[in-house]
Amino acid sequence: MSTHKENAVIIADLAQIAATAPLLIPLLHNYVSAGFPTPADDTVERSLDLNTHLIQHPAATFFVRAFGDSMTHAGIQSGDILIVDRAIEARHGSIVIAVVNGDFTVKRLEQLNGNWYLIPANPVAEPIALSEEVTASLWGVVIHVIHSFVP
């Protein structure tokens, strides 16, 4: 059972911790992109910002976690975070998030003889031909993969 006085102590401690904690910059805090850079901006040195460097369409960008047997030839391992952009057009060779039979999957998109195929990571598995009858759809294009060496 906590008393009023105990609560006071806890909050004061938190204030101490907060004062020394590193400043957290939330990713994708705001989806409205910055306006046009002005000539004056060129003279100002700003810290490097991963958000603007990696993400062109914040409102269309989502994070998806990859899971399962690795797609190492594409540089994706299980547990990696994929940065997915829904705004850009998928092309031959794009790594995409596709919805196949209701589930998210990571596939390579390829075009062969005018037909589009979703190529799975497993070289033995069948490519999925995209046609009217197939229950598969493109969800977004993978633009970056975040692989961490520290847990």
Partner 1 sequence: MKKRLFGLVDCNNFFVSCERVFNHQLVGKPVVVLSSNDGCVIARSAEAKLLGIPMGAPAFKYRDLFRSNEVLVLSSNFGLYADLSQRVMAILETAPCDVEQYSIDEAFLRFNAESEATAVETARTLSKQIWQWTGIPVSIGIAPTKTLAKVATEYAKKDLTLNGVCMLTEQSAITTALENLPVGDVWGIGWRTAKLLTQKGIFTALQLTHTDDRWIQRKLKITGLKTVWELRGISCIDLVMEERVPQSIIRSRSFGMPISDVGHLKEAIASHIAHACTKLRAHNLGATTLSVFIKTNRHSSSETYYSGIGTIHLPVAAHETDYLVSKAFDVFATIYKYGHWYKRAGVMMHGLRSYEHFQHSFLSDKGFTTAPLMDAQVGTVALNPLEQPWKTKQEKRSPNFTTSWDELPIASLK
- In the DSSP assignment, the letter for residue 93 is T
Residue 119 interacting with partner 1 (CB under 8 A): no
**Residue 5 designated active-site:** no
44 lies in the site for partner 1, by CB under 8 A: no
Q: Which tokens belong to 74?
A: 């594409």
150 near partner 1, judged by CB under 8 A: no
Q: Say which of 2, 70, 78, 131 is annotated catalytic.
A: 70
Quick one: which segment of 34-42, 44-52, 82-90, 110-118 binds partner 1 (CB under 8 A)?
82-90
CA distances from 19 to 22, 24, 83 (A): 8, 12, 32
Closest distance to partner 1 from the beta carbon of 149 (Å): 17
70 is catalytic: yes
Find the binder of partner 1 among 1, 40, 44, 48 (CB under 8 A): 1
Q: Does 106 bind partner 1 (CB under 8 A)?
A: yes
Sorted by sequence, the CB contacts under 8 Å of residue 145 that are 6+ apart come out as 66, 75, 76, 80, 81, 82, 83
- CA 109 to chain CA mean position, Å: 18
Catalytic positions are 70, 107
